[in-house]
């Protein structure tokens, strides 16, 4: 049972990786990375039960709590870049 | 079956690595680095190395992407075309790779019980942890007590790396800073979903960081992981409310104090052991009962590690952000 779930998760990870590598747009890749993080949480949880070490689920908890920070950083990166470009263009016209 | 899973994950890692090298767009490379980190963590976990996997998770998921993007904000997004001679570097790399592959033929088989790692000191650690320190997580016992010197060295390396980055990036603080355009340093708090998610989760992330810090003797965790998780929580706050606001909460001087204070706390525990009649970093003398002393010592040095890691990671983050504002 756990083996089947693990295999399915691994296949999904491979598909997400394919999207991240092929793109084509940046947003495909951001989404793929986010999804890959979610799948890692699932994989770690399943393997923790597969090995009979459910206390190791702390690791999945760590990912679940802080994995999205990277995506927020991407949002902030694009936002500040857009603001800066606007400011630079404004300064150039003056 | 574990081997099959491991080979699958390593294959994905290989594909990711090749893609990172081949892409010319540095933003794509940063995204793929995130995936590589997740894959490595999953692999560590598969090999039952939960402490290492937790470290990779804490650093890779929260901090490293943020720092890479901070770097990217200071440079351009496209990689410059290589100017060096490709054939020479390719030859050097393949020669080195062949030597390394040749060396692996001498290594014991994966998981072999006769491997030096299983026969040399590991049995002694596994035996004596119960007797000397009496904590369930042998990794913490090895890291904190049996190999306390190495960990002290690691903390000093982290501290030195932080100082190095600050030297490179800090420049003149406050000098040459142009007034930020309106609306640029508000952060993501104007957007509903980040604001709600962030406000809900930051306390829990901090709580989880404390849990990882103080639960390290019983489960995977310890100072390194907890430091990275706490730093991730503060970085999340900085992303939401703007970096300046985060600096008001924890000023630069406090961060420097944390970085140095943690290392001093670690060294101080060692010196305290000497003053009480033991060797440097011998915790047995810290309490009447040697086992209690060991546990106290590990708790104290883990706290020192956590403080230093938090301070250094946040100092580096703020150094990048401040540099971005000046540019």
- Beta-carbon separation of B38 and A86 below 8 A: no
- Beta-carbon separation of A73 and B69 below 8 A: yes
Q: DSSP readout, B148-193? A: HHHHHHHHHHHHHHHHHHHHHH--STTTTPPPPPTTSSSGGGGSHH
* Domain with B324 in it: 121-327
Structure confidence at residue A93 (pLDDT): 55
- Beta-carbon separation of A62 and B212 below 8 A: yes
Helix, strand or coil, per DSSP, at residue B25? strand
Tell me whether residue B253 is in a domain: yes
Tell me: cis bond preceding B228? Omega within 30 of 0 counts: no
Q: How far is CA A59 from CA B63, B102, B169, B209, in A?
A: 16, 35, 33, 12
Q: How far is the alpha carbon of A66 from chain B, nearest alpha carbon, in Å? A: 6
Does the ipTM surpass 0.85?
A: yes
Tell me whether residue B216 is in a domain: yes
Tell me whether residue B281 is in a domain: yes
Structure confidence at residue B311 (pLDDT): 92
Structure confidence at residue B108 (pLDDT): 83
Chain B CB contacts of A87 under 8 Å are: 181, 184
Structure confidence at residue B92 (pLDDT): 93
User: Percent of chain B scored above 90 by pLDDT?
Assistant: 23
Q: How confident is the model at residue A63 (pLDDT cuts 50, 70, 90)?
A: confident
Q: In terms of Cα–Cα distance, which of A70, A87, A73 is closest to B325?
A: A87
Tell me whether residue B153 is in a domain: yes
Chain B CB contacts of A44 under 8 Å are: 41-42, 45, 53
Q: How far is the alpha carbon of A59 from chain B, nearest alpha carbon, in Å? A: 5
Tell me whether residue B34 is in a domain: no
**Per-residue model confidence as pLDDT tens digits over B58-115:** 888 778 888 888 888 888 777 777 666 788 888 999 999 999 999 988 888 877 888 8
Tokens of B178: 């142009």
Q: How many structural domains comprise chain B?
A: 1
Count chain A–chain B contacts defined by CB atoms under 8 A: 153
Tell me whether residue B78 is in a domain: no
Of the candidates A29, A47, A72, which has its C-beta nearest B236's C-beta?
Answer: A72
**Per-residue model confidence as pLDDT tens digits over B147-182:** 888 999 999 999 999 999 888 886 655 444 444 544
- Alpha helix locations (H) across chain B? 2-22, 26-46, 50-57, 65-74, 86-104, 116-119, 122-132, 138-141, 148-169, 192-214, 223-241, 243-249, 252-275, 290-326
Of the candidates A10, A56, A70, which has its C-beta nearest B66's C-beta?
Answer: A70
**Per-residue model confidence as pLDDT tens digits over B274-296:** 888 888 888 888 888 888 888 88
Any residues with CB less than 8 A from the CB of B189 and at least 6 apart, and which?
A: B195, B198, B240, B241, B242
Tell me whether residue B51 is in a domain: no
Query: In a mutagenesis test of the A interface, which of B47, B50, B218 is the best target, namely the one with the most A β-carbons within 10 Å?
Result: B50
Of the candidates A6, A23, A36, which has its C-beta nearest B35's C-beta?
Answer: A36
- Beta-carbon separation of A77 and B72 below 8 A: yes
Chain B CB contacts of A55 under 8 Å are: 219-220
Tell me whether residue B226 is in a domain: yes
- Beta-carbon separation of B12 and A84 below 8 A: no
> How many other C-beta atoms are found inside a 10 Å radius of the C-beta of residue A54?
10
- Beta-carbon separation of B204 and A65 below 8 A: yes
Tokens of B200: 């809900």
Averaged pLDDT, B242-251: 84
User: Percent of chain A scored above 90 by pLDDT?
Assistant: 5
Averaged pLDDT, B184-203: 79
DSSP bridge partners of B78: B25
- Beta-carbon separation of A73 and B212 below 8 A: no
Helix, strand or coil, per DSSP, at residue B35? helix
d(CA A80, CA A73): 10
Residue B235 in this model has a pLDDT that exceeds 80: yes
**Per-residue model confidence as pLDDT tens digits over B37-63:** 889 988 988 888 888 888 888 888 778
Structure confidence at residue B244 (pLDDT): 82
- Diameter of chain B by CA atoms? 66
d(CA B315, CA B254): 10
Output A8 or A87, whichever has higher pLDDT. Answer: A8
> How many other C-beta atoms are found inside a 10 Å radius of the C-beta of residue B210?
13
Half-sphere exposure of B109 (CA within 13 A, CB side): 4
CA nearest to A82 within chain B: B184
Of the candidates B38, B187, B215, which has its C-beta nearest A40's C-beta?
Answer: B38
Query: In a mutagenesis test of the B interface, which of A41, A58, A88 is the best target, namely the one with the most B β-carbons within 10 Å?
Result: A58
Output B169 or B202, whichever has higher pLDDT. Answer: B202
Phi-psi region of B289 (alpha: psi -120 to 50; beta: other; left: phi over 0): beta
Arithmetic mean of pLDDT over chain A: 84
Averaged pLDDT, A56-62: 83
User: Percent of chain B scored above 70 by pLDDT?
Assistant: 93
Q: How far is CA A20 from CA A7, A36, B279, in A?
A: 20, 9, 53
Residue A65 in this model has a pLDDT that exceeds 60: yes
Q: How confident is the model at residue B11 (pLDDT cuts 50, 70, 90)?
A: very high
Contact between B257 and B311 under an 8 Å Cβ cutoff? The reply is yes
d(CA B59, CA B52): 11
- Beta-carbon separation of B61 and A79 below 8 A: no
Structure confidence at residue B176 (pLDDT): 44
Q: How far is the alpha carbon of B61 from chain A, nearest alpha carbon, in Å? A: 5
Q: How confident is the model at residue B17 (pLDDT cuts 50, 70, 90)?
A: very high
User: Which residue carries 């490595």 as its tokens?
Assistant: B40
d(CA B98, CA B85): 21
Please tell me the least confidently modeled range out of A12-16, B214-218, B322-326.
B322-326
Arithmetic mean of pLDDT over chain B: 84
């Amino acid at each position: 049972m756990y083996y089947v779930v693990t295999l399915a998760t691994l296949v999904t990870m491979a598909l997400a990786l394919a999207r991240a590598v092929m793109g084509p747009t940046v947003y495909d890749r951001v989404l793929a990375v986010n999804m890959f993080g979610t799948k890692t949480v699932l994989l770690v949880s399943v393997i923790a039960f597969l090995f009979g070490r459910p206390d190791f689920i702390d690791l999945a908890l760590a990912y679940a709590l802080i994995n999205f920070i990277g995506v927020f950083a991407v949002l902030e990166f694009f936002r500040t870049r857009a603001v800066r470009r606007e400011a630079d263009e404004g300064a150039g016209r003056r | 079956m574990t081997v099959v899973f491991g080979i699958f994950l390593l294959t994905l890692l290989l594909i990711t690595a090749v893609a990172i090298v081949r892409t010319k767009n540095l933003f794509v490379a940063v995204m793929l680095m995130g995936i590589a980190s997740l894959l490595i963590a999953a692999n560590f976990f598969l090999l039952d190395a939960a402490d290492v996997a937790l470290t990779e998770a804490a650093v890779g998921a929260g901090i490293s992407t943020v720092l890479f993007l901070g770097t990217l904000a200071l440079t351009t997004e496209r990689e410059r075309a290589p100017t060096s001679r490709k054939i020479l570097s390719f030859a050097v790399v393949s020669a080195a790779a062949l030597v390394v592959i040749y060396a692996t033929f001498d290594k014991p088989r994966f998981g072999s019980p006769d491997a030096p790692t299983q026969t040399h000191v590991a049995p002694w650690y596994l035996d004596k942890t119960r007797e000397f320190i009496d904590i369930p997580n042998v990794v913490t016992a090895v890291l904190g007590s049996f190999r306390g010197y190495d960990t002290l060295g690691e903390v000093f390396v982290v501290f030195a790396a932080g100082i190095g980055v600050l030297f490179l990036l800090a420049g003149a603080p406050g000098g040459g800073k142009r007034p930020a355009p309106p609306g640029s340093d508000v952060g993501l708090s104007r957007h509903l979903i980040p604001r709600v998610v962030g406000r809900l989760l930051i306390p829990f992330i901090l709580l989880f960081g404390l849990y990882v810090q103080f639960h390290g003797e019983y489960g995977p965790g310890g100072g390194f992981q907890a430091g990275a998780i706490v730093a991730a929580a503060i970085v999340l706050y900085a992303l939401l409310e703007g970096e300046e606001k985060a600096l008001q909460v924890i000023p630069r001087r406090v961060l420097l104090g944390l970085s140095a204070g943690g290392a001093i706390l670690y060294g101080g525990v060692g010196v305290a052991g000497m003053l009480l009649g033991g060797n440097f970093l011998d915790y047995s003398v810290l309490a009447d009962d040697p086992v209690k002393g060991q546990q106290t010592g590990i708790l104290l040095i883990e706290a020192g590690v956590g403080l230093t890691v938090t301070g250094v990671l946040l100092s580096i983050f703020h150094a990048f952000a401040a540099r971005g504002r000046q540019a």
